[in-house]
Amino acid sequence: MNRSTELAEAVRRSVERYFKDMDGEKPTAIYDMVLRNVEKPLIETVLLKAAGNRSQAAAMLGIDRNTLRKKIQRLRIKT
């Protein structure tokens, strides 16, 4: 199994668990909830791997450095 498949399976299991935990309740805004809960730890982890170098982290994430800067501010990530 490759890494992208492993990640996809982890997401699938988590979303299925979320539905099970809802116990029949109708969920709303799942997409935003998932992005909110994934984006911050993703950026924090990549910043750690890049030793705080925002240019390297942005390249690893495949986003522009200014976009990364805005996300760091919006998500209140300490660098």
The domain ranges of the chain are: 3-74
- Phi, then psi, of 57 in degrees rounded to 5: -60, -45
Supply the mean pLDDT for the chain. 94
Give the model confidence (pLDDT) of 20-64 as tens digits. Answer: 999 889 989 999 999 989 999 999 999 999 999 999 999 999 999
Residue 74: predicted pLDDT: 96
**Identity of the amino acid at 51:** A
pLDDT for res 1: 67
pLDDT at 4 over 90: no
Q: Which residue has the tokens 């099970």?
A: 20
Instruction: Kindly state which CATH superfamily the domain 3-74 is placed in.
Output: Homeodomain-like (1.10.10.60)
CA distance 26 to 48: 37
Give residue 12's pLDDT: 94
